[in-house]
């Protein structure tokens, strides 16, 4: 099986209808990623198959069980090289996507990828979640906030949950320590206005890594003191 067939089959396994144009976009995305990676550190993975599985399919797995649907507003916090936001946008073209990252070089990269792939309806924010989570233009405005491998779960919750409207979801992509992190997050879940919904196990083709998706529903408004000032959530998590 070729790498592009592996990607196609993997995406179809998440009940997404895939076409040649979308596959071409993923191919080009990976090429731009490798090119920019020579100038700045975006990823430790450049091999085509590994990028397709560990970055693209892992990102798209966030659609499992139907919490993320086309047409929703979604913010990807600490998006880095665009994961999971951009792979989701390639597959669900009507997503209203916001990509937030604290490094301007990464925002420049994301803008170039979006231009080259002709992806519309994307906002790019250069800044910290602690600042923009307080901004009324963004606070409690999104159906979904998502993040992938940015920080420990209680810290991540404080970064992401203020962006989510009541009734929306925080969807977090985590590795094998998901259960432990969940235990450490009980206080943050309660304080920030969340309810734990489920942990979804993700199987990716041809790798042994354990990946999980943690899904939380926002059931009440986040207290105005959160997120705290930049640096505070990481130094002093809600635990």
Summarize pLDDT for 215-236 with one digit per residue, the tens.
999 999 999 999 999 999 999 9
Q: Cα 8 to the chain's mean position, in Å?
A: 20
pLDDT in tens, 26-53: 999 999 999 999 999 999 999 999 999 9
Per the structure, how many domains does the chain have?
Answer: 1
Output the domain CATH number for residue 40: 3.40.50.150
Residue 206 has pLDDT above 90, yes or no: no
Q: Is the pLDDT at 210 greater than 90, yes or no?
A: no
| Residue 104 domain boundaries | 3-235
Neighbouring C-alpha atoms within 13 Å toward the C-beta of 151: 18
Query: Which pTM was predicted?
Result: 0.97
**103-129 tens-digit pLDDT:** 999 999 999 999 999 999 999 999 999
Whole-angstrom distance, CA of residue 104 vs CA of residue 82: 13
Give CA–CA dist 176/180, Å, rounded.
9
At 151 the pLDDT is: 86
> Judging by DSSP bridges, how do beta strands 122-126 and 194-202 pair with one another?
unpaired
DSSP structure class, residue 176? T
Across 121-142, average pLDDT: 97
């Amino acid at each position: 099986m070729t790498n592009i067939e592996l990607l196609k089959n993997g995406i179809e396994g998440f009940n997404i209808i895939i076409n040649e144009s979308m596959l071409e976009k993923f191919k080009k995305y990976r090429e731009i990623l490798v090119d920019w990676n020579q100038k700045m550190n975006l990823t430790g993975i450049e091999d085509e198959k590994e990028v397709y599985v560990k970055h693209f399919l892992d990102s798209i797995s966030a659609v499992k069980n139907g919490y993320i649907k086309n047409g929703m507003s979604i913010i990807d916090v600490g998006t880095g090289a665009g994961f999971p936001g951009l792979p989701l946008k390639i597959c669900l073209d009507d997503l209203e996507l916001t990509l937030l990252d604290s490094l301007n070089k990464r925002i420049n990269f994301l803008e170039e990828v979006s231009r080259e792939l002709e992806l519309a309806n994307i906002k790019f924010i250069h800044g910290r979640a602690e600042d923009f989570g307080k901004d009324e233009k963004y606070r409690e405005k999104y159906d979904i906030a998502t993040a992938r491998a940015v920080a420990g779960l209680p810290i991540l919750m404080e970064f992401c949950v203020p962006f989510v409207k009541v009734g929306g979801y925080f969807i977090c992509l985590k590795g094998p320590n998901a259960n432990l992190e969940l235990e450490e997050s009980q206080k943050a879940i309660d304080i920030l206005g969340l309810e734990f919904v489920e942990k979804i196990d993700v199987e990716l083709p041809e790798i042994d890594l354990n990946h999980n998706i943690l899904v939380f529903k926002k059931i009440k408004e986040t207290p105005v003191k959160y997120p705290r000032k930049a640096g505070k959530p990481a130094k002093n998590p809600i635990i």
